[in-house]
Amino acid sequence: MDLLNVISVEAAENLLIKNFSDYRLNTESVIISEAAGRFLASDQVSAVTVPSFRRSTKDGYAVRSVDVSGASETLPAFLMLAGEVNMGTVADYKLKPGEAAYVPTGGMVPDGADSVVMIEYSEKLTDDEVSIYRPTAVNENIINIGDDIEEGCTVMEQGRKLKPADLGVLTSIGLTEVEVFVKPAVSVISTGDEIAGPDEDIKPGQIRDINTYTIAAAAEALGCRIIERVVVKDDQQLLTEVLRECYAKSDIVLLSGGSSVGVKDYSLQVIDSLGAPGVLCHGIAFKPGKPTIIANAGGKPVIGLPGHPVSALVVFGILGRTLVHLMYRTVPPVESWVEAVLSENVNGAAGREAWQMVRLAKSSTGYEAVPVHGESGLITMLASSFGTVRIPLNKEGLSKGSSVRVYPL
């Protein structure tokens, strides 16, 4: 395979889809209170109707709309009080013509009533009589049986990432536990003789490990669990041993560094030895992040990321997002962006798609996208950026004043 025979970003994502759409994660049952942020392993079908009774959405009086037709402040409707509904109890009577019943918000609407008039538009005259100062329409201020959820309907589909509000839906249909996918197990490996741990003394020519921390945190944010985070020196035998050990217990292996064409860059050979079909591509037409490796090692994904911190994190943001959502059997969320105006000219990258880091500044007309300049090894460049502006393949650049979409990091 020719080194750095680059493919487009879209082609790289399609490689992941083609090779890992059928990857199967295990599942587990978790209690609802611990399910936020987890991904559903199956469709959730309601065995009940919600609500199971007619409920009032306002504090007020349940009435027959015909009895208050034409009611106004100058000519109110006078109704007899048939009773008062207490929260959590059954309204065990039926309104007759000319009657009303007090109902609190969320309380059961008694039979015979077809609407609720807000308490602000009423006045209790005696223990037995109330005056109503405005008309109502049928079903006004009422939630009917099944308005929220009907028995037998699918309330959520497999692959959904559960939000706090989703837990309310699940508990409303009587669930105390839910089946979710087990979080993908991820190993993050950083290679290089120049890499030192954060607690080690730095020698001339060395830098502290950044990538295992940033990449691991990015993977966790996508819903993964980190089982290994390790730095390996430039030794092919040692890298082979560590990579095979991580491969055996991981769903995804991420390797940063060692993907370029230097003499000591063994990653390509070591990754390719893990299992067939092996390396699928070496090189993406993308800046930052050209020397990226994508491999299918016996059915497991192995991604070789660039060693530069910015490049590694941005590339993982693209490929990792696609890969994790494939494993959870869902699709990535709809892309979001902020509309802004470029504050200065930015250059493209010949033969590659380019992503320009920018920060956002408030302007009189909205937002201004201010380019953040620096080499891909400068982690502060990424930390100070809000997002990226994408410059299409083979486009020379974008002009100052151009309207652009800024994609949050």
Domains of the chain: 9-26+183-327 (3.40.980.10), 27-50+147-181 (3.90.105.10), 55-143 (2.170.190.11), 338-408 (2.40.340.10)
d(CA 283, CA 5): 6
Question: Degrees (nearest 5) of the Cα angle 167, 321, 330?
Answer: 50
d(CA 363, CA 346): 19
d(CA 184, CA 252): 7
Contact between 400 and 357 under an 8 Å Cβ cutoff? The reply is no
Residues 187-243 pLDDT 10s: 999 988 888 877 778 888 888 888 999 999 999 999 999 999 999 988 889 999 999
pLDDT, residue 2, reads 45
pLDDT, residue 6, reads 83
Residue 66 Rama label (left phi>0; alpha psi -120 to 50; beta): alpha
pLDDT, residue 65, reads 97
User: In terms of Cα–Cα distance, which of 250, 256, 331 is closest to 289?
Assistant: 256
User: In terms of Cα–Cα distance, which of 68, 139, 64, 61 is closest to 102?
Assistant: 61
Q: Tokens 């109502």 — which residue?
A: 136
**pTM for this structure?**
0.82
d(CA 293, CA 240): 16
Contact between 199 and 210 under an 8 Å Cβ cutoff? The reply is no
Per-residue pLDDT of the chain (409 residues; tens, 9 = 90+): 444 678 888 899 999 999 999 999 999 999 999 999 999 999 999 999 999 999 999 999 999 999 999 999 999 999 999 999 999 999 988 999 999 999 999 999 999 999 999 999 999 999 999 999 999 999 999 999 999 999 999 999 999 999 999 999 999 999 999 999 999 999 999 988 888 877 778 888 888 888 999 999 999 999 999 999 999 988 889 999 999 999 999 999 999 986 555 545 678 888 999 999 999 999 898 877 788 999 999 999 999 998 888 888 889 988 998 999 999 998 666 677 899 999 999 988 877 888 888 999 998 889 999 999 876 556 787 788 888 898 888 788 999 999 999 988 7
pLDDT, residue 171, reads 97
d(CA 325, CA 333): 9
d(CA 109, CA 171): 23
- Cα dihedral angle (159, 160, 162, 168), rounded to 10 degrees? -120
